[in-house]
Chains A and B, each alone.
Chain A
Amino acid sequence: MLQEIILAGFGGQGVMSMGQLLAYAGLVEGKHVSWIPSYGPEMRGGTANCSVTISDEEVSSPIITEPDTLIVLNRPSLEKFEQNVKPGGRLLINSSLIDIEPKRQDLQVSKIPVTELGREILGNNRVSNMIILGAFVEMTRAVSLESVIGALKKVLPEYRHNLIPLNRKALETGIELAKGREFLHFRSCG
């Protein structure tokens, strides 16, 4: 198994932590992983992205030019990375903030309004990244939910462990949505 994923969005949407969790979850499962952040003169509200590789084999090149999966939380990220996705690859879109259609016809597209879902279902749009991560986990089985929770315990400092139940709930929301594909019909209330 080799999964190459690019995750992208606004700084502050939790793109980097989502990627780190994914990589750590792979590590928890004894897989080979790498995580590369975009770094530069970036700030909250600017764009951020990271590349995550999860593999059964040693990761030769950690640089991802053609991801199997692209997860985008904002419109500039979709516009920037859509063209790079592997033919027939997977595209997860935060439809709360992305109001355009992807150009490619060959991709498996899933639109999830995670910003609204976070706010409406969980009362906190800061866990919207966990909803889309949950959907990704369900769709690809690249790592298990329990491994992501295990990773959360390692990544979050002890005094933040009270946030794990909320994050679990967000991940499970994403998983349920991916199972039922309800998100395809989800109507924005905003």
Chain B
Amino acid sequence: MAKVLMKGNEALAEAAIDAGCRYFFGYPITPQNEIPQYLAKRLPEVGGVFVQAESEIAAINMVYGAAGAGARVMTSSSGPGISLKQEGITYMAGAELPCVIVNIQRGGPGLGGIQPAQSDYFQAVKGGGHGDYRLLVLAPATVQEMVDLMEKAFDLADEYRNPVMILGDGILGQMMEPVEFSEEKETLRQEKPWATTGAKGRNPNIINSLFLDPAELEKHNHHLQQKYDRMSKEVLWESYQTNDAELILVGYGTSARIAKAVVDQARAQGIKAGLFRPISLFPFPKVALQEACKKAECVLTVEMSMGQLVEDIRYNLEFKVPVHLYGRVGGMVPGTRAVLEEVKRLVNSGKAGKNP
């Protein structure tokens, strides 16, 4: 198929249809409104259902219902709306229901602003709601990757019976880039024998996250944990110019693209810089990160937060390499010039050896 110019939000929505998603429940919030807008028109055309719910809380519980019935279902929102959805998300993780949740991040905390941010990283990868649970979290960096990761997200959700989050930001959602949709392909969809589909000729299935017997609940938690451990093979990442790199920039999504431009500019000035970009934020590509940083004397994370990803980079590098942060917040976006200045400052001050 020929390439078309599309907004990230719209491309992602079309990719969801391609991936077999037929149900969307959501509530409007900038900067992700093009997703429901697009799906409101598109889903009825393919026999699907679109509902603009009365609230985010209603929407996520509709997702719970559709997922329980075995449907491929999705919701999308931005920070404040994702916070409202946390109760439903932890219930779905507890009841082992597959779904895709898109967070097109904006500045926080609270109502914050509507410009791009990456300050929902902790919320996405550390749980967000109550209880011991994890989401699979995928972070695209281009409009094309938003498309490519959609099918993957639904497949992972079904395979692990777990909610999957696509973590984007306002820039990715709003920007237009050329995208190509793959030809219609026959994909093998998982059978869902656990779904509540009417129980004709079989015993009823029960979907539930309530275990009043502590021993039972502990067993359930161990079962979930084994599942999260199993997910570790799903790691995705990109390494760019890391082989001989003495300084590694780390970032995901939009920030990684800025960092990539900085790597090229730094290399042109004789600085051996490289980029490590985690694509799966959970599971985190720890081994690949360590490999990319094996010659690094210094690591710099570039993120649109006060320092969230940076904590995981320090942890995953086991505090063996000093890891610094360049963060912009509130809807401000890191500029290549400022990041390059920070790179030069770190190189010149020979920051090896100590964490700041």
User: Looking at the complex, which one of B3, B260, B261 makes contact with A27 (CB distance below 8 Å)?
Assistant: B3
A35 within 8 A of B: yes
Q: Which one of A32, A40, A59, A62 has the greatest number of beta carbons of chain B within 10 Å? A: A62
A24 within 8 A of B: yes
Contact of A33 among B178, B262, B333 (CB under 8 A): B178
Please tell me if the beta carbons of A66 and B114 are within 8 angstroms of each other in the complex.
no
B31 engages A33 (CB within 8 Å): no
Question: Bound complex: CA of A88 vs CA of B335, how far in Å?
Answer: 20
If A27-B3, A60-B260 touch, does A65 touch B176 (CB 8 Å cutoff)? no
Tell whether, in the assembled complex, residue A33 and residue B5 are in contact, meaning their CB atoms are under 8 Å apart. yes
- B168-181 toward A: CB 8 Å interface, digit per residue (1/0)? 00110011111000
Q: Using a Cβ–Cβ cut-off of 8 Å, how many residues does chain A contribute to the interface with B?
A: 20
Tell yes or no: B337 within 8 A of A by CB.
yes
Q: Determine if B3 and A35 form an interchain contact, defined as CB atoms under 8 angstroms apart.
A: no
| In the complex, A34 has a CB within 8 A of chain B | yes
Tier of interface size on chain B: 20 to 34
Are B170 and A63 within 8 A (Cβ)?
no
Cβ of B171: which chain A residues have Cβ within 8 Å of it?
36, 62-63
Q: Name the distance in Å between A143's Cβ and chain B's nearest Cβ.
A: 13
| Residue numbers in B under 8 Å from A59 (CB-CB) | 177, 257
> In the complex, which residue of chain A has the Cβ closest to the Cβ of B331?
A40
Asked if A63 contacts B114 (CB within 8 A), the reply is: no
Q: How far is the CB of B321 from chain A (nearest CB, A)?
A: 24
Whether A159 is near chain B, meaning CB under 8 Å from some CB there, is: no
Q: Check B264–A60 contact: CB distance below 8 A.
A: yes
CA distance A37 to B262 in the complex (A): 22
**Residue numbers in A under 8 Å from B260 (CB-CB):** 60-61
Question: Which of the residues B31, B178, B258, B333 comes within 8 Å of A39, measured between beta carbons?
Answer: B31
Q: Which of B258-302 contact A (CB under 8 A)?
A: 258, 260-262, 264
Question: Cα distance A34–B3 when bound, in Å?
Answer: 13
What is the distance, in angstroms, from A68's C-beta to the closest C-beta of chain B? Answer: 14
On chain B, the residues within 8 Å of A20 by CB distance are 5, 176
The reply to whether the CB of B115 lies closer than 8 angstroms to some CB of chain A is yes
| A25 (CB) vs chain B CBs: closest residue | B5
CB < 8 Å: which of A27, A35, A40, A60 contacts B115?
A40
Using Cβ atoms and an 8 Å threshold, which residues of chain A touch B264?
A: 60
Q: Is the CB of B174 within 8 A of A36?
A: yes
Known: A27-B5, A27-B178, A60-B260. A39 touches B170 (CB 8 A): yes
Q: Which of B237-267 contact A (CB under 8 A)?
A: 254, 257-258, 260-262, 264
A23 CB–B CB distance under 8 Å = yes
Min C-beta distance of B259 to chain A, whole Å: 8
B316 nearest CB across to chain A (Å)? 24
With a CB–CB cut-off of 8 A, which chain B residues contact A27? 3, 5, 178
Q: Which residue of B lies closest to A32 (CB)?
A: B178
A-B contact pairs, 22 of them (CB 8 A): A27-B5, A32-B178, A33-B5, A34-B175, A34-B177, A37-B175, A39-B31, A39-B170, A40-B114, A40-B115, A41-B114, A60-B258, A60-B261, A61-B257, A61-B261, A61-B262, A61-B336, A62-B171, A62-B177, A63-B171, A63-B258, A65-B337
List chain A positions with a Cβ less than 8 A from chain B.
Answer: 20, 23-24, 27, 32-37, 39-41, 59-63, 65-66
B residues lining the A interface (CB < 8 Å)? 3, 5, 30-31, 114-115, 170-171, 174-178, 254, 257-258, 260-262, 264, 333, 335-337
